[in-house]
Structure 1
Amino acid sequence: MLEINFLPFPNLETERLLLRQVNSNDAEAILSLRSNDEVMKYIPRPYLKNIIEAKDLIAMFDDKIENGIGINWGIAFVNQPEKILGIIGHYRIKPEHYRAEVGYMLFPEYKGRGIVSEALKKVVEYGFKEMKLHSIEAILDPGNIGSEKVLLKNGFIKEAHLIENEYYEGHFLDTMIYSILNK
């Protein structure tokens, strides 16, 4: 079984991006991100309502990092590290199966610039090289064509389309699972 340790926190860098730890200074941005209709359109999670909920979410991120059960990075430009454009991370890590779920969200004004794809490549690389994962999955709403394109572009393949397997706010929802193997 995998032994996962995210301490000290691993900042990751690409040509344009810095993937860094989300901190309390990001609370306003996290609130804005997690209460944005366009961002949350395909994410069946409650909207954040206030700055306290945003700080609580950041504290939950920190707790998961400290306990090696999940990791989130704030996505920022290298030359503007204080301003996050979105978040990306490994969620639902299954160390006994050497598998984790990757997830991401980005402010709408940054879509279409290859930012998620660039960040995803680095996070997948980290998952395989540093975390020693065998596979990484992404779970998405079938209507989220943009996310599906990003995953396919980055070597993920469709594993499944589950019919009405989640219940959220009075509705049953389908989900699709995409994955990539460590080759």
Structure 2
Amino acid sequence: MLEIELNPFTYLHTERLLLREVQETDAPEIFIFRSDDRIMQYLDREKLNSETEALEFIGKYKKAIHENEGINWGICLKDSDKLIGTIGLWRFIKANHRAEIGYSLHPDFWNKGLMREAMQAVLDYGFQTLKLHSIEANINPKNEASRKLLEKHGFVQEAYFREDYYFQGKFLDSVILSLIDPATRNPSKL
């Protein structure tokens, strides 16, 4: 079984970004990310109603890291400490060396290649440091931007689940895409 150790927290760097631990002082940005209609339209989760709820959300991030159950990074431009998004790995299935990736980015920073850059750093960390074999993403089928981002990184669709998720009085569909560690992928199965 895979052993996951997320402590101490690992900071990641890219050409333009710093991926750092989310702190209580980031509550205003987390509140924006988790309450903005543009960001939340495909997350199919309840919006946060206050910065107090954002602090509770950050507490869940910290607890997951402490218990080696998930890691979320705050995405910052290298010249600023202000969060512009988040990205993380969680729902570890340790017996299968698998995790799920999730992410959000403030709309002011969409279509600049920043999430592509952040995702590559997190995928490298997941495969090289955590020794994951595969990483999956569970997306709303209407989220074409997310699908395109994942496909640029080599993710392929594994499943389309009809009405498998109940949210706000409706059953919603889900799409599961996954990426097998490119270093171990069997070319005959492509």
The equivalent of 2:34 in structure 1 is 34
Give the 5 Å matches for 1:39-78: 39-78=39-78
Q: What is the DSSP-based 3-state SS (H/G/I as helix, E as strand, rest coil) of the residue aligned with 1:89?
A: strand
Q: How far apart, CA to CA, are the structure 2 residues paired with 1:36 and 1:91?
A: 23
Secondary structure of 2:82's aligned partner: strand
Q: Percent sequence identity over matched residues?
A: 43
How large is the Cα RMSD of the aligned pairs? 0.6
Cα shift readout 1:78-116 (whole Å, capped 9, x = no counterpart): 111x10110000021111110000000011110000111
User: Structure 1 regions of 5+ residues with no counterpart?
Assistant: none
Measured in 2, the distance between the counterparts of 1:19 and 1:2 equals 24
Number of residue pairs matched by the alignment: 182
Per-residue CA deviation, residues 23-78 of structure 1 (Å, 9 max, x unaligned), is 01100000011000000000111111011100001011000000000000000011
In the TM superposition, residue 2 of structure 1 has moved relative to its aligned partner by: 1.1
5+ long unaligned stretches in structure 2? 185-190
SS at match of 1:128: helix
Distance 1:59 1:36 in 2: 20
Using structure 2 for the length normalisation, give the TM-score: 0.94
Aligned to 2:86: 87
List, as ranges, runs of 4+ consecutive aligned residues in structure 1 with deviation greater than 4 Å.
Answer: none
- Cα distance in 1 between the residues matched to 2:142 and 2:60: 28
Mapped to 2, the partners of 1:162 and 1:64 lie a distance apart of 27
> Which position in structure 1 is the counterpart of 2:146?
147
Map 1:161-180 → 2, pairs under 5 A: 161-180=160-179
Structure 2 SS opposite 1:155: coil
Q: CA-to-partner distance for each residue in 1:119-174, whole Å, 9 max, x for gaps?
A: 11110110001111000000100000000000001111111111111111110100
Query: How high is the TM-score relative to the length of structure 1?
Result: 0.98
CA distance in 2 between partners of 1:61 and 1:180 (Å): 24
Between the aligned partners of 2:37 and 2:45, the Cα distance in structure 1 is: 12
